[in-house]
């Protein structure tokens, strides 16, 4: 499984996410993989990822359903790291929704 931190994102738009090393997530591919893994048709879902909003001891992340699943973590440094992690997590969830996609809550 690939793993990135939110700070590795260089572009995020309605097509997908590009990371600093050139790797890209395409949301339509994630939707296709989600449907296949859950044995439903693509027309029955808008889901591209699972999401987990953690407590203090756990990790907050999205798990995107690319062919090789991709874990997008929200690790920040500094005094307000938990607040920033929460805010960026919610921001990504809202962006996915605005682009016409959803994520499945695993919290």
Length of the chain: 107
Pairwise pLDDT comparison (80 vs 40), residue with the higher score: 40
The answer to whether the CB of 28 falls within 8 A of the CB of 14 is no
Distance of alpha carbon 64 from its chain centroid, rounded? 5
Q: What predicted TM-score, i.e. pTM, was given to this entire model?
A: 0.91
Contact present, 77 and 85 (Cβ < 8 Å) = no
Yes or no: say if 11 and 2 are a contact pair by the CB < 8 Å rule. Answer: no
Q: How confident is the model at residue 56 (pLDDT cuts 50, 70, 90)?
A: low
Q: How confident is the model at residue 54 (pLDDT cuts 50, 70, 90)?
A: confident
């Amino acid at each position: 499984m690939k793993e990135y931190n939110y700070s590795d994102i260089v572009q995020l738009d309605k097509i997908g996410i590009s990371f600093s090393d050139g790797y890209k997530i395409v949301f339509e591919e994630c939707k296709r993989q989600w449907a296949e893994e859950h044995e439903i048709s693509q027309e029955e879902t808008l889901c591209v990822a699972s999401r987990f909003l953690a407590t203090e001891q756990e990790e907050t992340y999205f798990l995107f359903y690319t062919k090789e699943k991709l874990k997008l973590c929200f690790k920040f440094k500094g005094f307000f790291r938990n607040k920033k992690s929460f805010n960026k997590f919610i921001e990504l969830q809202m962006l996915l929704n605005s682009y016409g996609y959803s994520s499945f809550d695993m919290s």
